[in-house]
């Protein structure tokens, strides 16, 4: 893994002539007047959320990953869960009134969401999909999710993510 932390907890990046690149999710949050904190890092390959949390010294219980599923009826559903937990597909299906769900194939992430693997987040996808955020997030003051591209994480209040993503809380993770 060849990654490097660039900016953390509001520190200014000291790289000459490097302009801050706003992602779609950041523009949406700003338009909705939702405050967020950005963490950036440079990475030349996909790394999983646990490695990102370690690299940025973030507590696992605050960092969430975004997963996209598909039902037999060809509907897509988005689930936001803690990075150290697994999505319970039966609970997830029940939460969206489907009989069953399966994870979409990695190669389909971009065409379905508009994001790439490792940069997928529940806000600002190509379409507004039914979204569930694990109920554990509701107990947190803030949570951290992808900022909409590789190298970007954002921290915000769970209820703000809920509102921006048009989501609901749900019991969706495995015990």
- Cβ neighbours for 111, distance < 8 A, ≥ 6 positions apart: none
Phi first, then psi: give them for residue 133, nearest 5 degrees. -110, 130
pLDDT category, 118, cuts 50, 70, 90?
A: confident
Q: Within a domain: residue 156? A: yes
Q: Within a domain: residue 121? A: yes
Predicted pLDDT at 11: 40
For 40-97, write each residue's pLDDT tens digit: 888 766 778 888 899 889 999 999 999 999 999 899 999 999 999 999 999 999 999 9
Q: Within a domain: residue 175? A: no
Measure Cα distances from 98 to 23, 72, 108, 150 in Å. Answer: 32, 8, 21, 31
Predicted pLDDT at 19: 52
CATH number of the domain residue 83 falls in: 3.90.960.10
For 6-44, write each residue's pLDDT tens digit: 444 444 333 333 456 788 999 999 999 999 999 988 876
- Provide the number of structural domains found in the chain: 1
């Amino acid at each position: 893994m060849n990654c490097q932390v660039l900016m953390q907890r509001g520190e200014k990046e000291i790289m000459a002539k490097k302009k801050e690149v706003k992602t779609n999710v950041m523009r949406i949050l700003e338009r909705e007047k939702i405050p967020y904190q950005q963490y950036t890092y440079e990475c030349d390959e996909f790394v999983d959320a646990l490695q990102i949390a370690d690299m940025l010294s973030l507590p696992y219980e605050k960092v969430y990953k975004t997963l996209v599923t598909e039902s037999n009826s060809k509907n897509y559903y988005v689930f936001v869960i803690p990075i150290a937990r697994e999505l319970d597909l039966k609970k997830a299906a029940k939460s969206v009134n489907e009989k069953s769900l399966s994870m979409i194939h990695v190669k389909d992430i971009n065409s379905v969401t508009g994001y790439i693997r490792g940069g997928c987040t529940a806000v600002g996808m190509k379409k507004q999909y039914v979204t569930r955020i694990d109920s554990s997030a509701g107990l947190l003051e803030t949570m951290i999710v992808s900022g909409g591209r590789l190298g970007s994480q954002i921290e915000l209040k769970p209820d703000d993510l809920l509102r921006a993503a048009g989501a609901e809380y749900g019991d969706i993770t495995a015990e």
